[in-house]
Amino acid sequence: MSQRSRSVALIATTALAAAGLAACSTPEPSPGVTEDTVTVGTHTPLTGPAAAGYSSISAATKAYFDYVNDNGGINGRNIEYIVKDDGYNPATTSTVVRELVQEDEVFAVINGLGTPTHSAVVDYLNENDVPDLFVASGSPKWDQPDTFPNTFAYNANYIVEAKALATYAQETWPDKTFCVLGQDDDFGTDFTTGLVQVLGADGLASTQTYSVSVQDVVAQVGAMQAAGCEVNFLATVNGFTALALGTAAKMKYGAQWVSSSSGGDYPTLVGYLGEDVAPLLLQGFVSSNYLPFSPDDAWVALFQEINDEYNDGAPFSGNKIYGMSVGYLFAQALAKAGDDPTRESLLDALEVGALTGNGIVPLGFSTDSHAAFEGVGITVVDEGVQDYVDGEIYTTDAGNGPVEPYTGEAVALEGDGIPTA
């Protein structure tokens, strides 16, 4: 063989080797991604004790995805959304999430609902490298990047909510007696921790808990009445918020009620209490929120239109805004993940801090933080309308950091509410 022939052969061999390496380095398609679709899933209570308060969330998320799909999808792909009912039962959650991962082969799990329920699957999702996005719970445990690198929160942290609500209560009712009724799990414990950070170790005259399996809070409300509680904080799901207020009314016990956002949606509470009674019982009711909420907000108007067209005109509520806001944030992350999204590029999109969501306060996502909204605004019900109190928006952390007023702008609606890269 001539020198030229040997050189040509060497070049050809080198080229083939390089081509082989390039082929080997091409990332494998992630589960749930095809040329035309991205499939995601969730676990949520469509039945059981929490269903009446939360079953409408996933329907609203699906309505938003249907709207996106009818308008070209995200980077040319439609979003397919699989909803599994877990009945707010952790054992069932484990079963249905394994179905989503092993049988449905979802790209990601988004907005799995509940602290006790999602706690049953967070290890499994991280061990299997499944993006576990926007957990529908304010527990601080979702913000542990070193322990759960695939898990990102959505709700404002319960401690953050409680610190903001306690600050507002101290400023508004400085001489009143404060108490709390909380769920007997991390929800109630974390919320109470936040209250104590602001009010002090002796700042609560009575601390009561309830179980979602027992539809009776007469003993708890009676204990609060006996303790002289004048301002009662609630770490309750919507059904138990209504149960507490209804029970107090029957006992002729008047108090100021201040609720976590998880149990503070006015239209949902009206559904429990009835249209005749609710406006009376809920007058002055205080809650927190971090999403667009005001009746004249552009996001609210868009979501109302989507609800009317894609959700069979179901009654519009804060849960619908929540569900569609989750859908928007996932669509934004998917758009940022690139034309050929992988699970890795999706997680990278969250950690670079490029996502804004549509909240009234900033998102906290970064490499070091998987917490979502870094504060809350205060809402009050007045004559049947729940809206933000002007100037009452606070930011803080889940530790001992100060509670500070937030004066930044809410995220404005752009275009048709469908994110692009």
Residue corresponding to tokens 């082989």: 20
Domains of the chain: 37-156+293-373 (3.40.50.2300), 159-289 (3.40.50.2300)
Please list the rounded mean pLDDT of every run of 10 residues in the chain (421 residues).
39 41 56 98 94 91 98 97 97 98 98 95 98 96 97 96 98 97 95 97 97 95 98 96 97 97 93 95 98 92 97 91 98 97 97 93 94 95 94 93 94 94 80
User: Mean pLDDT score of the chain, rounded to an integer?
Assistant: 92
Q: Tell me how far apart the alpha carbons of residues 137 and 395 are, in angstroms, rounded to a whole number.
A: 18
| pLDDT score, position 7 | 41
Q: Is 76 exposed, middle or buried (0-12, 13-18, 19+ CB in 10 A)?
A: exposed
Token code pair at residue 290: 């971090």
In the beta sheet, which residues pair with residue 74? 77
**pLDDT score recorded for residue 26:** 52
The alpha carbon dihedral of 412, 416, 419, 421 has a sign of negative
- Chain position carrying tokens 């974390």: 190
142's tokens: 């979702």
Pairing of strands 375-382, 286-289: antiparallel
Instruction: State how far the Cα of 148 lies from the Cα of 264, in Å rounded to an integer.
Output: 29
3-state secondary structure the chain: CCHHHHHHHHHHHHHHHHHHHHHHHCCCCCCCECCCEEEEEEEECCCCCCHHHHHHHHHHHHHHHHHHHHCCCECCEEEEEEEEECCCCHHHHHHHHHHHHHHCCCCEEECCECHHHHHCCHHHHHHCCCCEEEEECCCHHHCCCCCCCCEEECCCCHHHHHHHHHHHHHHHCCCCCEEEEEECCHHHHHHHHHHHHHHCCCCCCEEEEECCCCCCCHHHHHHHHHCCCCEEEEECCHHHHHHHHHHHHHCCCCCEEEECHHHCCHHHHHHHHCCCCHHHHCCCCEEEECCCCCCCCHHHHHHHHHHHHHCCCCCCCHHHHHHHHHHHHHHHHHHHCCCCCCHHHHHHHHHCCCCCCCCCCCECCCCCCCCCECEEEEEEEECCEEEEEEEEEEECCCCCCCCEECCCCCCCCCCCCCCCC
The alpha carbon of residue 347 and the mean position of all alpha carbons in its chain are separated, in whole angstroms, by: 17
Please give the Cα distance from 86 to 265 (Å, whole number). 22
- Count the neighbouring beta carbons within 10 Å of the beta carbon of residue 138: 31
Q: What is the pLDDT of residue 1?
A: 45
The confidence score (pLDDT) of residue 419 equals 95
Amino acid present at 370: H
Pairing mode, if any, of strands 108-110 and 151-153?
A: unpaired
In 3D space, the residue among 87, 109, 89, 88 whose CA is nearest the CA of residue 99 turns out to be: 109
